Structure 1
Amino acid sequence: MKFTRIAPHPDLEPFIECYWMMQSRNPIPKIEKIIPDGFTELIFNYGEVYKSKISGEWQLQSPNLFAGQITSYFYLENTGWTGSFAIKLKPAALTQMFGLNMAAYLDQIIDLDNFPHVQLADLKNHFLPFENEHKLKQVLDDRFLELCKNVIENPLENALTVIFESNGRASVAMVADAAKLNERQLERLFKKYIGLAPKYYSRIIKFNHIFQLIKAEKCSWSEIVYQSGYYDQSYFIRNFKAFTGEDPSLFL
């Protein structure tokens, strides 16, 4: 499997985390576990489609998808050769660009071709058929630079900065203070712009920091537990297992 991460145009950095591509000519089915990372995605398959298992049953996905925030791990399985690219969006970007209420799409992977939003449903006509990586970046940049001309302001920009800079360890009170909002206002805006409550979203960012520490292999387990803000290793293990479905040693 070849995975390629592509940086967007610098003017798109407030809205797009990255573009990515995934390619493989191996048709043998392989199951992958997907862990929440706090970002939403628009995904386009020019290869064979995937199956997903989110709520207990496998379902065949559509070729073009909108993935909202997810609260727990789920599974993907290829049905043949893989050819995919995606736009990995900053947490509030879909509300800023398209006016979506993200709470409506929590834990959902939506068929983008039949999505009741003209600009979103029309995206595939700008990006497909796929030609090559260089051309793809050009058409993605051009389309999103156009879409971002009339974005609405992100009232959670400072709140999200605090969450990411603290690796999810900032309290809700600290996040609300950064946004100059009370906690009820913060909760309401997080549900609309992100799809999740601020406390749960911070938890996702905290665990993604933990995964980075695990991958770096520069810290002992006790150091990882401490750096993650946990002061009880057994409590950390229970939380880790609830989030990933595995205890830390098996996940590693």
Structure 2
Amino acid sequence: MNYEIIPPPTRLSPFIRFYWILESNEPYLHRGLADGCAEMIFHYDGIFDELGDNNLREKSFSSGLHGPTRKVRRFIIDRGFGIFGVYIYPFAIQRLFSLPTIAVSNEMPDLKTLLGTTGDRLEEQIMMASNNYERANILSTFFEHQLTKTRQVPANISVAVHQMLNSKGIVDIPALAEYCCLSLRQFERKFKEYSGFSPKLYSRIIRFQTAAAQYGNYGKSLTEIAYQCGYYDQSHFINDFKEFSGFNPSTYFSGEAEGTAWRDSEMS
């Protein structure tokens, strides 16, 4: 399995965290965990099925958007595959697709639903591209055009989301509201509109992501990981981890958990 990252152009870095590629010659079962950012996905070689209740398979989209999510989702493919993805700051959904982030939180609209005929054309360009750097250039051109058509996101809210991410979810929410010159109620409403979740839930998701990113760090115990990620007792850590990944932390960090092959590839 091969996992790569391509940085976006400087002009797009306030909105796009990075482009990524995941490719394999083997079948794969992937588990999508809770995530505070969104991902635009293009399956340019093979299409996954989503596994629902009782492992029933339902065809997923060939291209579309994974909104910020608190849900665990499972996907499977019985052959080799290639995926090109864009990891997007949640508040950028408004700028890039002209809709509030809350409209796509926990959702997976396909590209045509999201962009109409423009989505069809963009998908065709991505599928026909000769390599992943060409795909990154196509998408950068598309995003730069989108930014010329849409209104600005309130600067204080984008700052608040960045602060939440940079602090790894360990923030004083009333203090952050005051820093943004908003009442707590105003801040909670605006933050949810542009991040997809309330500040409290978003901070929990980001703390979980920070903990999950310690996968492969065998020099730290689970207690150390929990404490460094702002969990002050093991039960809180275990409960959040189960809710946002479907795994007990000990299972996830064992290296034997379902859908972690991409992380193994990231470390190699």
Residue by residue over 1:187-216, the C-alpha shift from the partner in whole angstroms, topping out at 9 and shown as x without a partner, is: 222232222111111111111111223433
Q: Distance in 2 between matches of 1:160 and 1:68?
A: 15
Q: What RMSD in Å do the two structures reach over aligned CA positions?
A: 2.1
- Distance verdict in 2 for CA 1:16–1:219, change over 3 Å: same
Structure 1, gaps ≥5 residues long: none
> What are the superposed Cα offsets for residues 159-190 of structure 1, whole Å, 9 maximum, x if unpaired?
11221222101032122123221122122222
Instruction: Answer whether contact 1:210 1:228 (CA < 8 A) is retained.
Output: yes
Cα distance in 2, alignment partners of residues 85 and 66 from structure 1: 12
- Pair 1:245–1:186, CA change in 2 (3 A): same
Matched letter for residue 48 of structure 1? G
Provide the rounded CA distance (Å) in 2 between the counterparts of 1:129 and 1:179.
Answer: 44
**d(CA) in 2 for partners of 1:64, 1:214:** 28
Q: Which has the higher contact order (CA 8 A, sep 6+)?
A: 2
Q: Counterpart of 1:35? A: 33
Distance 1:239 1:52 in 2: 24
Q: 1:55 to 1:16 in 2, by over 3 A?
A: farther
Equivalents in 2 of 1:130, 1:154: separation in Å? 32
Name the counterpart of 1:47.
45
Match of 1:11 in 2: 11
| Identical-pair percentage | 28
Q: Which residue of 2 aligns with 1:21?
A: 21
> TM-score normalized by structure 1?
0.89
Corresponding residue number in structure 1 for 2:229: 228
Distance 1:165 1:135, change over 3 A: closer
TM-score, normalization by structure 2? 0.84
How many corresponding residue pairs?
Answer: 250
Q: What letter corresponds to residue 182 of structure 1 in structure 2?
A: S
Q: 1:6 to 1:199 in 2, by over 3 A?
A: same
Amino acid in the other structure paired with 2:205: I
CA contact (8 A) 2:204 2:240 kept: no
1:147 corresponding residue in structure 2: 146
| Residues 203, 7 of structure 1: alpha-carbon distance in 2 compared, 3 angstrom cutoff | same
> Could you tell me how far apart the structure 2 residues matched to 1:88 and 1:223 are?
28
Superposed displacement of residue 6, structure 1: 0.8
Say yes or no: does 1:64 pair with 2:67.
Answer: no
The 1-side partners of 2:249 and 2:85 are apart by: 29
What CA distance in whole angstroms lies between the structure 2 residues aligned with 1:55 and 1:181? 42
Deviations 1:53-90 (Å, cap 9, x if unpaired)?
A: 36665321121111111112211111432122122111
